[in-house]
Structure 1
Amino acid sequence: MDNVSVNGQKPLSLPKEQGSNSGFWLVVLGAALWGVDPLFRILLLKSLTSTQIVLLEHIIIALVVAPILWRQRSELRGIRAKHIAALLFISWGGSALATILFTMGLADGNMNAVLLLQKLQPLFAIIMARMLLKERLPQRFSLLFILALIGTYLLTFGFKVPFGHWNEFVQIGSLFSLGAAALWGGSTVMGRLMVGQMKYETVTSLRFILALPLLLAITWGEGGVWNLPTGSSAIVGVSLNLLGQALLPGLLSLLVYYKGLTTTKASVATFAELSFPMVGVLMNWIVFHEIITSAQIFGFVLIWAALFVISRQSQSLKA
């Protein structure tokens, strides 16, 4: 998780200390909580649309973080146009649109593939950082990128060969997932523009609050913004699922993850974060009977290997 996102992104700043065992396990726990996110979303999709789920989720979290923004309101003075643009990308793209795409991916695609494809977020962040911030690419990045693309192909399509009808080959859920990963990766880059400008808590609060107008407009445009479940049992069930989704894989996972990351090296955290797809795949297997395929396992290993090499290179440069 990034410094301004709840769903599956790396932080903007890396710890300087050698990782401790307690920090490592906190990262494992925080990332594992992300893995239960699809469980809530799939259950909510039975009663709500993707945009309704994301809107209500943001309203809950916005109510929690609004007091933080009020206390830090002095930081809003004198922000420049580029910072406003970065905040809008973070909130509208990385928060609103990316979460909608991720939820739609869970509804329309293979849930295991949708989860595992989120490991591509750092690659999108690296590419956008090169384009926008002129940061240097890692060594042999082209080769590593091709390796990750092969892994992406296997996660999305398995060992199939693209012959026949294109609409039978393209997996729309995986495309939604890739769109979410790109937007979340881009949010990492936009967040770097905010470093030193605002505190992390302020940016996080703005991320959810600024997303609300766009989410309201999108949900209203669907024509069913107030078509909510009826009946006391249905309302209670949806409310509990929404609270659980917003507070467990949302805010709580973020707090635990960053606490652990302050004493855990990025290269070590790469291993710890494997608890995210592992828990997600496990939940899919137990609850939704989604079994991971050998092609998905192989594809995930290729993506993780490429990211691990990049992570090691980044650590050697900082040493």
Structure 2
Amino acid sequence: MYKIKKVDKKVAIGAGAIMLAAFLWSLDGIFIRPKFYVLPASLVVFLEHALGFLVLSPFIIISWPKIKLLRPKDWGAIFWVCVFGGLIGTIMITKAFFAAMDGEVTFATVVILQKLQPVFALIMARLILGERLSKKFYLWAGVAVAAAYFLAFGKTGLMIGEINLFHSAAFFAILAAFAFGSSTVLGKRIVNHLDFKSTAALRFGLTGLMAFILILATGDLFKTGDLQAVHWRLLVLIVFTSGAGAIFIYYFGLKRVTASQATICELFWPLSAVVLDYILNKNVLNSIQIISTLVLLMAFFQVIKEGRAEEVVFTAGVVNGRGRGKRIGFPTINLDKVDLDINYGIYLVEAALGGKVYRGLIHFGFKETYSESASLELLLKDLIPDVGREKIKIKIIKKLRDIKRFKNTEELKKQIEEDLEELK
């Protein structure tokens, strides 16, 4: 009998959050961002990030004990997202539209090329994060991208022949697509290892600092006097909607879905833009756009349903630990694979070593009770002799829970006993 695959509730909530963020970005593009076209793009980027950071900065204070324990690989991802997603991407897409205003190319060139973003993201998610999704997922992802194109250009046609790849507008649009697509992927790496609130705060703080250095170097800082009262009101609005607010919501969602799912869900942006155009400007959708809307909605559903990554399997070597687990009655095997691109947490696993397969648990993440950096530790149901430096193959079955901070060792031991019940 055919079994219908259910939609994971957590994934559905995450996808919904990303679509909400995309909706807020569409509002920004239609109603807010055009009001700033008289100002340097880098100045606007600095102001919206500086104000956003003021709102989000308390999360850095709260999570500082974890932030200072992040590994270089995580910091590399943070800086990439700040430079490309927060700074370069925003400036490049703005410059792309400005460059298209000279009349030598149509705005279609910018829009079509910028929509290469999910293509970049899907490729990088596979290469960098190792996301392996089903063939059905990639099929529906392609359908979603195609539907988004037809939705955007349903009335005028795709106008592929009008694309001028040698114009500066095309270069800026492609760079923006790469910047935003790569930021989705590296952003996923960050939220795997840090809470979404702190991730949003770090992004706004570091991007604001980089933007400040840029406007100081270019002299755009001194154009702050050109801002009128309406600009300041709009900047405050951006902070709580399409700026810090949207990124806060976006990272909440990204924590719960794969990067590949996230980049497709971001296509809710053009969908909401077309719908808003219909509601506000009475621009009626034609038959192609209506069909594209229905297809895109179906593609969203299928991408959410089919987006579960293939099982995670990896091989790790044994390293020396502190012996703390043995002292409290739960001896663990410390492993060297501490840079996995999966969420921190406690997982149910199968471990292959010595020609046998054992059921067990792994702890992957910060040792919060002891305020120590991330570790990967294996606790087996059946005690085994010293494994020496043997390589162990781990297959993750499912995530049991997030990592918690316990008041004392007794609370920790009680939780471990409860976790071990999952092995029965």
Q: Aligning the two structures, in what range does the TM-score lie when normalised by the shorter sequence?
A: 0.5 to 0.7
For 1:67, the equivalent position in structure 2 comes to 58
Letter in 2 for 1:90: V
SS where residue 227 of structure 1 aligns?
A: helix
Aligned counterparts of 1:188 and 1:133: Cα–Cα separation in 2: 11
Deviation at 1:171, TM superposition (A): 6.5
Identity %: 27
Aligned counterparts of 2:49 and 2:87: Cα–Cα separation in 1: 8
Taking a change above 3 Å as real, the CA distance of residues 292 and 280 of structure 1, as seen in their structure-2 partners, is same
Deviation at 1:178, TM superposition (A): 3.8
Aligned counterparts of 1:264 and 1:190: Cα–Cα separation in 2: 13
SS where residue 132 of structure 2 aligns?
A: coil
Q: Which runs of 5+ in 1 are unaligned?
A: 1-13
Taking a change above 3 Å as real, the CA distance of residues 266 and 183 of structure 1, as seen in their structure-2 partners, is closer
Give the greater-gyration-radius structure (CA). Answer: 2
Taking a change above 3 Å as real, the CA distance of residues 66 and 72 of structure 1, as seen in their structure-2 partners, is same
Q: Is the 8 A contact 2:49 2:244 kept in 1?
A: no
Instruction: Tell me whether 1:49 sits opposite 2:40 in the alignment.
Output: yes
Deviates more, 1:283-292 or 1:71-80: 283-292
Aligned counterparts of 2:260 and 2:142: Cα–Cα separation in 1: 21
Q: Which has the higher strand share?
A: 2
Instruction: Tell me whether 1:217 sits opposite 2:208 in the alignment.
Output: no
Instruction: Please show how residues 92-171 of structure 1 align to structure 2 within 5 Å.
Output: 92-109=83-100, 120-136=116-132, 138-139=134-135, 158-160=157-159, 162=161
Letter in 2 for 1:99: T
For 1:76, the equivalent position in structure 2 comes to 67
Q: Which runs of 5+ in 2 are unaligned?
A: 1-6, 101-105, 312-397, 399-424
Q: Is the 8 A contact 2:133 2:307 kept in 1?
A: no
Deviates more, 1:29-38 or 1:295-304: 295-304
Q: TM-score, normalised by structure 2?
A: 0.53
Deviation at 1:245, TM superposition (A): 2.0
Deviation at 1:195, TM superposition (A): 4.2
Deviation at 1:125, TM superposition (A): 2.0
For 1:204, the equivalent position in structure 2 comes to 200
Aligned counterparts of 1:251 and 1:242: Cα–Cα separation in 2: 11
CA deviations on 1:273-314 (whole Å, 9 max, x unpaired) are 665324434566898999999999999999888777655532
* Number of aligned residue pairs: 297
Deviation at 1:56, TM superposition (A): 0.6
Aligned counterparts of 1:162 and 1:281: Cα–Cα separation in 2: 23
Aligned counterparts of 1:176 and 1:290: Cα–Cα separation in 2: 29
Letter in 1 for 2:68: R
Deviation at 1:69, TM superposition (A): 0.7
Aligned counterparts of 1:79 and 1:26: Cα–Cα separation in 2: 26
Deviation at 1:239, TM superposition (A): 0.4
Deviation at 1:126, TM superposition (A): 1.8
Deviation at 1:238, TM superposition (A): 1.1
CA deviations on 1:170-203 (whole Å, 9 max, x unpaired) are 6655653443332222122213333453221111
SS where residue 201 of structure 2 aligns?
A: helix
Structure of higher RCO (CA pairs closer than 8 Å, 6+ residues apart): 1
Instruction: Tell me whether 1:186 sits opposite 2:186 in the alignment.
Output: no
SS where residue 51 of structure 2 aligns?
A: helix
Taking a change above 3 Å as real, the CA distance of residues 27 and 220 of structure 1, as seen in their structure-2 partners, is closer
Q: Is the 8 A contact 1:18 1:263 kept in 2?
A: yes
Aligned counterparts of 1:37 and 1:307: Cα–Cα separation in 2: 22
Q: Is the 8 A contact 1:15 1:265 kept in 2?
A: no
Q: Is the 8 A contact 1:122 1:307 kept in 2?
A: no
Letter in 1 for 2:203: R
Instruction: Please show how residues 193-272 of structure 1 align to structure 2 within 5 Å.
Output: 193-230=189-226, 235-254=228-247
Letter in 2 for 1:72: S
Match for residue 90 of structure 1 among 57, 81, 90 = 81
SS where residue 192 of structure 1 aligns?
A: helix
Letter in 1 for 2:51: I
Taking a change above 3 Å as real, the CA distance of residues 196 and 24 of structure 1, as seen in their structure-2 partners, is closer
Taking a change above 3 Å as real, the CA distance of residues 227 and 80 of structure 1, as seen in their structure-2 partners, is same
Q: Which has the higher helix share?
A: 1
Deviation at 1:85, TM superposition (A): 0.7
Q: TM-score, normalised by structure 1?
A: 0.68
Aligned counterparts of 1:45 and 1:293: Cα–Cα separation in 2: 31
For 1:8, the equivalent position in structure 2 comes to none
SS where residue 208 of structure 2 aligns?
A: helix
Instruction: Please show how residues 1-12 of structure 1 align to structure 2 within 5 Å.
Output: none
CA deviations on 1:243-268 (whole Å, 9 max, x unpaired) are 11222122334556677899999999
For 2:270, the equivalent position in structure 1 comes to 277
